[in-house]
C-alpha cells in the first residue's frame, strides 16, 4: 500500500508539472498571434513568428497536453476517482481546454498560411480562456465540491 501511495504522489507531481508547462504555452501562443498579426505580411519578422509558434506547439504545447492526459488518467485510476462528480466536471473543462488547444494550433497554421481572421483585441480576449478554465479546474480538483 505504501508503494501505491508513492506512485500516486509521483503521478500527481508529473501531472502538475505538465499542467504548468501546458498552461504556459496556452498563455504564450495567443500573445504570439497578436505580435504575428502586427508584423508585415511576408516580412522576416513574420517568418520568425511562424517559426516561434511552430516550436512552441511542437516542443511545449502538444507534448505537455499528452503528458497531462496520461498522468491525469493514471491519477484517476490509481486514486479510484472515476465515480466522483467533481472529476466528471473537471474532465468537461479539461476537454474544453483541449478543444481550445486544438483551435489554437489550427489558428496558428492559418496564420502561417497568411489567413488573419481575428483582430488583436479578439486574440487578447482569447488569452483569458486558459486562466478562467484553470481556476475552475483547480477548484474542482482541490475542493471537490460534489
Q: Annotated binding residues for heme, as ranges?
A: 15, 90
Q: Are 53 and 30 in contact (CB under 8 A)?
A: no
Calpha distance 94→88 (Å, rounded) = 10
Cell digits of residue 16 = 502538475
Q: Which value, to the nearest 10 degrees, does the dihedral of the CA atoms of residues 40, 41, 43, 47 take?
A: 120
Which residues sit in the known binding site? 15, 90
Its sign, for the CA torsion 65, 70, 73, 74, is negative
Its sign, for the CA torsion 107, 111, 117, 122, is positive
Element (H, E) at 68: helix 62-78
Amino acid at each position: 500500500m505504501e508503494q501505491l501511495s508513492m506512485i500516486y504522489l509521483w503521478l500527481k507531481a508529473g501531472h502538475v508539472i505538465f499542467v504548468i508547462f501546458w498552461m504556459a504555452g496556452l498563455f504564450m501562443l495567443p500573445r504570439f498571434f497578436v505580435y504575428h498579426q502586427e508584423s508585415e505580411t511576408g516580412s522576416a519578422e513574420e517568418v520568425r513568428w511562424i517559426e516561434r509558434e511552430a516550436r512552441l506547439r511542437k516542443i511545449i504545447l502538444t507534448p505537455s497536453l499528452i503528458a497531462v492526459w496520461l498522468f491525469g488518467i493514471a491519477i484517476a485510476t490509481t486514486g479510484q476517482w472515476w465515480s466522483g462528480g467533481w472529476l466528471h466536471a473537471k474532465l468537461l473543462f479539461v476537454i474544453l481546454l483541449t478543444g481550445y488547444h486544438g483551435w489554437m494550433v489550427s489558428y496558428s497554421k492559418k496564420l502561417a498560411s497568411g489567413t488573419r481572421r481575428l483582430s488583436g483585441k479578439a486574440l487578447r480576449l482569447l488569452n483569458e480562456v486558459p486562466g478562467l478554465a484553470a481556476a475552475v479546474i483547480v477548484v474542482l480538483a482541490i475542493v471537490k465540491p460534489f
